Amino acid sequence: MTIPDWRPLADLSALTTRADLLDKTRQFFAARDVIEVQTPLLGDATVTDPDVESIPVPGYGFLQTSPEYFMKRLLSAGVPSCYQLASAFRHDESGSRHNPEFTMLEWYRVGFDDVALRDEVAALCDTLLGPATCETLTYADVVGDVERPREELDLAFADASERLGPGRYFIIDYPAEQAALARLRPDDPTVAARFELVIDGVEVANGYWELTNADEHRRRFAADLARREARGLPARQPDEKFLAAMAEGLPDCAGVAVGFDRLVMLSVGSRSLDGVLTFR
């Protein structure tokens, strides 16, 4: 009988680096009066997004794909700018840069738009990875022809992101059809007020100037469900508590989700999450 290897994947140096980056992250937000919050990892509802598949827990609900819905409920209840370092879970995601369970850094800044938030994301990366210039590109710059099916565009973006090579790049002006929960840009409703950050070919962050209109949220969830049905994916009921919070009033804010494990990976010079995770 072969005894399975029980030892951790990451070495002590990588684990020490992770601890240091966690500490620096908390110091970064404390200096800006952004409070740390904790929300449930398990919820009775989940996202409708057909590109993000949840892990169900029969009898209990779903492991959360991000803390987004819970954090926006806090904001709607009057909680100020806040951040969270949380485990997030996604079904059938495994590979050198994916794991079904991963650490997400997510934060929301009341009164910010996506442009102001990009500056803060860049400042955090300077703090954790060392200073560097961030170049800004449009989505069309990266993928070329945007008049293609969504699935083809997603593959083209992933391939093009890797080919960007060394450097830090903010990708902006996503097509309106890829707004997710971002508002459309007021001066050009054909594009979303959304950005992604790619560092050394690795997709690291996804941020929005947040959509606040509850009716538009419900319309987008319905469109998600239609896409899920067309793909033969399980139906997901919209989170009615989240929608009620949006109807009550999400403050004007911008938010971003950062793959923290990927930041650690970049910091230690690894090309795989195996270099920074304790266990898979």
pLDDT digits (tens, 9 = 90+) for 107-158: 999 999 999 999 999 999 999 999 999 999 999 999 998 888 888 888 888 8
Number of C-alpha atoms within 13 angstroms, CB side, residue 22?
12
Cα–Cα distance measured from residue 238 to residue 41, given in angstroms and rounded to the nearest whole number: 18
Say if residues 191 and 178 touch (Cβ distance below 8 Å): no
Domain that holds residue 107: 12-275
Residue 18 or 146, more confident: 18
Average confidence (pLDDT) over 19-26: 98
Choose among 76, 66, 49, 16: nearest CA to 212: 76
Which residue is listed with tokens 């022809």? 145
Is residue 191 packed enough to be buried (19+ CB in 10 Å), middle (13-18) or exposed (0-12)? buried
Which three-class secondary structure state does DSSP give residue 66? coil
**What's the total number of domains in the chain?**
1
Choose among 270, 267, 276: nearest CA to 10: 276
Average confidence (pLDDT) over 236-246: 97
Beta-bridge mates of residue 86: 104
pLDDT at 156: 87
In a domain, residue 1? The reply is no
Residue 164 or 108, more confident: 108
Please tell me the pTM assigned to this model.
0.96
pLDDT per residue over 242-268, tens digit each? 999 999 999 999 999 999 999 999 999
Query: Which domain CATH number covers 235?
Result: 3.30.930.10
In a domain, residue 207? The reply is yes
Cα–Cα distance measured from residue 99 to residue 7, given in angstroms and rounded to the nearest whole number: 18
pLDDT at 1 over 80: no
- Structure tokens that stand for 279 in this block: 């266990």
In a domain, residue 230? The reply is yes
- Structure tokens that stand for 102 in this block: 């991963």
User: How many whole angstroms from its chain centre is CA 134?
Assistant: 19
Residue 2 or 103, more confident: 103
Cα–Cα distance measured from residue 94 to residue 272, given in angstroms and rounded to the nearest whole number: 11
Choose among 40, 37, 69: nearest CA to 52: 69
Helices (H) and strands (E) in the chain, counts: 8, 12
pLDDT per residue over 42-90, tens digit each? 999 999 999 999 999 999 999 999 999 999 999 999 999 999 999 999 9
pLDDT at 148: 86
pLDDT per residue over 186-214, tens digit each? 999 999 999 999 999 999 999 999 999 99
pLDDT at 93: 85
In a domain, residue 87? The reply is yes
